[in-house]
Amino acid sequence: MKALRVLLLCGGQSEEHEVSLASARSVLEASGEQLELTPLVIDRSGHLLSRQDSLKALTSGETQTENLSVTELPQLDRHRFDIVFPLLHGPFGEDGSVQGLLRLMGLPHVGAGVLGSAVGMDKLVMKSVFGAHGFPQVGYRGVTRYRWNTAPKQVLEETARLGFPLFIKPANLGSSIGITKAEDEGELQTSLETAFEHDRRVIVEQGLNTIRELEVAVLGNDAPEVSPVGEIRYDTTFYDYETKYTEGEADLIIPAAISKEIEATCQDLSRRAFLAIDCAGLARVDFFYQQESGEVYLNEINTIPGFTETSMYPRLWQAAGLSYPDLITKLLELALEPR
């Protein structure tokens, strides 16, 4: 049987560039002979690196175009590849931009299409869709940079009404980049300024005390399957970028020590959230759980979650009996299904 020709698209212009490269390295290392994998790195400036230098970038971490040769778009040739595996996190990769390009070029790809990717990336649109479906969420407000610049006093008053503590997030970034916690109005102002350095639209969320963070992996297309529930535990104020990507700072507990009822609630909401945004292939769905009240709140859906072998998404499926190499194979099969 002829090996499946897979283009592994990684890197990208977002601040999650290094996270993307780490995911791609894991896929390369785990791939068997049934796959003919070709990595293609997009550097931080948006240039496509040559095949040779894409491999160099993945092995050495060198992704500056002044040191590496740049290729052109024709390398994305539908006659040279059977399928594309985009492992691009954040804007220009996870937001529907690349998915639209691949669709125009007639190249099937792993993961959500334009709609699911765009909705899943934009936290404000995502929460609007979740709200329309009646999913439980914490209180939040959206703010634009224009409104912050023209009416800062009103913005502070409106968002402070949610009650402190508050979490302030760029609407279109992942990996906890640009997220800060505010305990009072002074910190809220500083946090908004920080978030607007990353995006023109920002979300301010009500903070919950004594929460547990739960996650579920979803796999499939129109009839998705869900994994056991996992839990993230950490000692820092919140699950920020340093905690998330520094070894030993956070523990991934699988399965989470929760009741069968809470497990079923998270799994049901995960499946419904996946279908609500018209997702496909894979997603990780995150929750806040207040054990004292028994309330579960849907936080967000990630359409291209971290994909190293030790990331939560693959580990959740490993706990369900699906190995990392088999998970890669399954995702490629799902991408080739007619939709």
Would you name the residues annotated as active-site residues? 16, 175, 245, 284, 286, 300, 302, 306
Half-sphere exposure of 110 (CA within 13 A, CB side): 24
Mention every residue, 6+ apart, whose C-beta is less than 8 A from residue 222: 275, 339
Q: Which runs of consecutive H residues, i.e. helices, occur in 161-298? A: 185-196, 241-245, 260-276
Q: Which two tokens stand for residue 114?
A: 């334009």
Q: What is the DSSP letter of 2?
A: P
Determine the residue type at 244. K
Question: What's the rounded Cα separation, in Å, for the pair 65 and 17?
Answer: 14
Q: What is the DSSP annotation of 202-226?
A: EEEEE--SSEEEEEEEEEESSS-EE
Is residue 246 classed as helix, strand or coil in its secondary structure? coil
